[in-house]
């Protein structure tokens, strides 16, 4: 290159560099210091002015409070998870909307607080496809929460994805199924989230140190360490893992709707009166089989009785072990968990209910009833808890007809789960209904999409043997309550048979009234 050409090149390069620098925002200007460690050539006021966010009054936080101002240039730092960036530290990589735990639903990129969606997707979190190939049935199925409610009744379903109702634009209702409502965290008096003393996660307040209460409205006058020390039980557990520590005092979980104090008590919830009950004792208010006194979870038996639950009479020629073994039969529990064992003989419960019978109470004809109370689907008879189907019907509850008037295509269309798989890949389709795999006893549901192992257990039995597992939740039989149907609501019940199907109302522990249809029900005796 000639000297003249080289000189022209340098002039062109310098002019382009000057033009480029002039287009850069002030906060990205090169250092206005004369040298390393030298003083800033800007006044303090001018330096701070360049670090203020637009529209922010003088004296406000510089660099959005997320960095420091160095001679008119913001140097961003991290004081929360994520990365801050931008000329005034105004951008944060974690402030973009998320869906199902993924930023921009995995269908876009976060650009300074807003999702830039890929082609074919839209929405604040890029969660909605522009073209939907799902049927309305499949779409609604994908929007149902664990209680089978579409978008938790707090939103609308769009192509298998929930759009939560937030009329105020505050995004307080969120979640894959709109299951989270942070409005529950707003303090009625201060109108602040968790009273300004905690953070809200899915409608629950998590209080800062020294505060407690549903909305973090109460202040504790002792240190967190002292609070924990006072709540620690002799075995080293906080409230014996049976309660919540609030400002040095244990609030024990009351799982029994009857009684003055419930089943769990003690300064550190160390006493559990449930330890004094046997399975059959739940039919009465008596502890220790009615033959002793319960003291902090241990039975002190009356004269003439002994055993862990005072269940064995001393006058019985059998030992306690022999008595229990005789009552067990082929079951793992005495009287199959459905009765009372005394001296090797079972008395089946509930009292007066002829559906539970047998030498070891092994027959439970309640298992032949569907959730609507119909015995064997109306197409069979019940024998010792098992349905014997009429000709032309089959299934556990005789619910499937052998003849089908549908085409194979029509049948399969009714058996497809939300993801388009036949019976969720866990069963076969017959006449528009799924027959779940017998090898996997725990699979159930209309589309074989439920796992009965998710239902609560007590005494090793799903729903304690006192109800039916319905897609992960126990539907309790008459007189029973609790997550695992483990709580007997009282003794003043008389079993009545009626040929007509009637409506029965059951008062639940939380005061709500639930209604069920049964052709057999309990009524309190007339007074």
pLDDT per residue over 436-459, tens digit each? 887 777 888 888 888 888 888 876
Look at residue 269 and tell me if it is in a domain.
no
Looking at the predicted structure, is the pLDDT value of residue 116 above 80? yes
Q: CA–CA separation, 481 vs 255, rounded Å?
A: 10
Q: CA–CA separation, 281 vs 487, rounded Å?
A: 10
Look at residue 413 and tell me if it is in a domain.
yes
Q: Write down the pLDDT at residue 511.
A: 32
User: Which residues, other chains included, contact 80 with Cβ-Cβ below 8 Å and sequence gap of 6+?
Assistant: 92, 94
CB 461 within 8 A of CB 337: yes
Q: Write down the pLDDT at residue 504.
A: 34
Position with higher pLDDT, 9 vs 102? 102
Q: Write down the pLDDT at residue 375.
A: 92
Q: Write down the pLDDT at residue 6.
A: 45
Look at residue 412 and tell me if it is in a domain.
yes
Domain total of the chain: 1
Q: CA–CA separation, 442 vs 484, rounded Å?
A: 16
Structural domain that includes position 437: 405-448
Tell me: the pLDDT tens digits for 467-488? 888 887 888 877 777 778 877 6
Residue 426 maps to which CATH number? Answer: 2.10.25.10
Find tokens 């089959």 and name the residue. 394
Look at residue 123 and tell me if it is in a domain.
no
Average pLDDT over residues 115-140: 87
pLDDT band at 33 (very low <50, low <70, confident <90, very high): low
Q: CA–CA separation, 418 vs 447, rounded Å?
A: 9
pLDDT band at 147 (very low <50, low <70, confident <90, very high): confident
CB 125 within 8 A of CB 115: yes
Look at residue 13 and tell me if it is in a domain.
no
Q: Write down the pLDDT at residue 17.
A: 40
Q: Write down the pLDDT at residue 523.
A: 34
Looking at the predicted structure, is the pLDDT value of residue 4 above 70? no
Average pLDDT over residues 176-201: 87
Look at residue 109 and tell me if it is in a domain.
no
Tell me: the pLDDT tens digits for 226-253? 888 999 988 888 898 888 888 888 888 7
Look at residue 59 and tell me if it is in a domain.
no
CB 437 within 8 A of CB 444: no
Looking at the predicted structure, is the pLDDT value of residue 9 above 50? no
Look at residue 335 and tell me if it is in a domain.
no
Q: Is the pTM for the entire model greater than 0.85?
A: no
Mean pLDDT score across all residues of the chain: 76
């Amino acid at each position: 290159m000639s000297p003249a050409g080289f000189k022209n090149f340098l002039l062109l390069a310098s002019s382009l560099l000057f033009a480029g620098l002039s287009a850069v925002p002030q906060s990205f200007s090169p250092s206005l210091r004369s040298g390393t460690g030298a003083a800033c050539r800007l006044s303090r006021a001018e330096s701070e002015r360049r670090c203020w966010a637009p529209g922010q009054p003088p004296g406000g936080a510089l660099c959005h409070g997320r960095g420091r101002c160095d001679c008119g240039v913001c140097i961003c730092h991290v004081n929360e998870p994520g990365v801050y960036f931008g000329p005034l530290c105004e951008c944060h990589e974690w402030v973009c909307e998320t869906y199902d735990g993924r930023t921009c639903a995995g269908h876009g990129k976060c650009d300074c607080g807003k999702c830039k969606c890929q082609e074919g997707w839209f929405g604040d979190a890029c969660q909605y496809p522009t073209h939907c190939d799902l049927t309305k049935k499949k779409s609604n199925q994908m929007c149902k929460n664990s209680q089978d409610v579409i978008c938790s009744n707090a939103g609308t379903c769009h192509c298998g994805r929930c759009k939560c109702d937030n009329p105020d634009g505050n995004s307080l209702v969120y979640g894959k199924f709109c299951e989270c409502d942070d409005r529950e965290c707003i303090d009625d008096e201060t109108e602040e989230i968790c009273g300004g003393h905690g953070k809200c996660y899915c409608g629950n307040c998590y209080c800062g140190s020294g505060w407690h209460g549903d909305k973090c409205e109460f202040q504790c006058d002792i240190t967190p360490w002292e609070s924990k020390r006072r709540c620690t039980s002799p075995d080293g557990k906080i409230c014996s893992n049976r309660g919540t520590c609030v400002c040095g005092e244990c609030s024990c979980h009351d799982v029994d709707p009857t009684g003055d104090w419930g089943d769990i008590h003690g300064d550190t919830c160390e006493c559990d009166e449930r330890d004094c009950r046997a399975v059959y004792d739940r039919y009465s208010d008596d502890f220790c089989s009615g033959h002793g006194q319960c003291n902090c979870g241990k039975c002190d038996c009356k004269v003439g009785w002994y055993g862990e639950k005072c269940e064995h009479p001393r006058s019985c020629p059998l030992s306690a072990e022999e008595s229990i073994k005789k009552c067990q039969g082929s079951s793992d529990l005495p009287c199959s968990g459905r009765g009372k064992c005394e001296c090797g003989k079972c008395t089946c419960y509930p009292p007066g209910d002829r559906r539970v019978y047998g030498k070891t109470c092994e027959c439970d004809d309640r298992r032949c009833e569907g959730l609507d109370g119909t015995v064997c689907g109306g197409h069979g008879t019940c024998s010792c808890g098992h349905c014997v189907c009429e000709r032309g019907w089959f299934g556990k509850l005789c619910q499937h007809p052998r003849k089908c008037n549908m085409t194979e295509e029509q049948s399969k269309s009714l058996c497809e789960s939300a993801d388009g798989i036949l019976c969720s890949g866990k069963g076969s389709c017959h006449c528009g209904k799924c027959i779940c795999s017998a090898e996997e006893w725990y699979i159930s549901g209309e589309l074989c999409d439920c796992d009965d192992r998710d239902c609560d257990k007590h005494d090793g039995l799903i729903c304690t043997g006192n109800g039916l597992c319905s897609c992960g939740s126990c539907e309790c039989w008459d007189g029973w309550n609790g997550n695992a149907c483990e709580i007997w609501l009282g003794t003043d019940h008389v079993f009545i048979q009626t040929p007509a199907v009637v409506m029965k109302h059951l008062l639940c522990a939380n005061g709500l009234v639930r209604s069920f249809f049964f052709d057999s029900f309990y009524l309190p005796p007339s007074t």
